[in-house]
Amino acid sequence: MIHFENIGLRYGTGPEVLQDISFNLNKGSFHFLTGKSGAGKTSLMNLLYMGRRPTRGRLTMFNKLIHEQSRNDLIKLRRYVGVVFQDFRLLDHLSAFDNVALPLRIIGRPEQEIKQQVTELLAWVGLGDYLKSTPPTLSGGQKQRIAIARAVINRPRLLLADEPTGNLDDQIGMRLMYLFDELNRMGTTIVVATHNLNMVHELGHPQLHLSDGTLHYIPGTNGRG
């Protein structure tokens, strides 16, 4: 589904922050993206959600060669990807409902369908009573769940999460990971960037480990990778 082949990325005329990255992500797989700060995790995530094009190499996303796609085509491809950011990036002026509804409104779904889907999903993540609440009035955990709901409302083929447990205590963090696991069992391909090695070992999914801009594949221990 996603194929990286000798991918390199540099910003402007600076040095390459990613070098010769090659890996495949199959449909329904679950990977952790690990590595120290500055190793290139955010840059790799950026490539995965097509926020940037690679400087070199062949990147295939959903069977489309990225360098052959126009800007508008890339925008449409992004609709297959859900992203959960470390800092949530919720829109503070919108209610929880409207934040989650955003991806559906972008693709022009009817309001009635949006209302039904968003209400159901927010109830599923335990925020059925907070539809009209705005992010500044919610706790970190609640914001995180809204961010996840927003990322998955459009049933993305690929779900990316950047340090999703970074702002949460361990117990809530693990519950969140089980939620991702559940989505993965439903067929969503998942990549979670994290520093939390305890969680990585506990769940046992394979790792894409970045070190100084290069990638090392570490097989999983749960037999699903």
Site residues for other proteins per CB under 8 A: 49, 51-53, 71-72, 75-76, 78-79, 83, 89, 91-94, 98, 102-103, 105-107, 111, 150, 154
- Closer CB to other proteins, residue 102 or residue 172? 102
Minimum Å gap between C-beta 64 and other proteins is 14
Minimum Å gap between C-beta 76 and other proteins is 7
Minimum Å gap between C-beta 184 and other proteins is 21
- Closer CB to other proteins, residue 98 or residue 163? 98
- Closer CB to other proteins, residue 11 or residue 217? 11
- Closer CB to other proteins, residue 49 or residue 180? 49
Contact predicate 44/33, CB 8 Å:
yes
> Can you give the chain as a three-state secondary structure string?
CEEEEEEEEECCCCCEEEEEEEEEECCCCEEEEECCCCCCHHHHHHHHCCCCCCCEEEEEECCEEHHHCCHHHHHHHHHHEEEECCCCCCCCCCCHHHHHHHHHHHCCCCHHHHHHHHHHHHHHCCCCCCCCCCHHHCCHHHHHHHHHHHHHCCCCCEEEEECCCCCCCHHHHHHHHHHHHHHHHCCCEEEEECCCHHHHHHHCCCEEEEECCEEEEECCCCCCC
Contact predicate 97/132, CB 8 Å:
yes
Minimum Å gap between C-beta 55 and other proteins is 12
- Closer CB to other proteins, residue 51 or residue 166? 51
Minimum Å gap between C-beta 167 and other proteins is 18
Q: Which residues partner with 60 through β-bridges?
A: 3, 65
Minimum Å gap between C-beta 105 and other proteins is 7
- Closer CB to other proteins, residue 111 or residue 182? 111
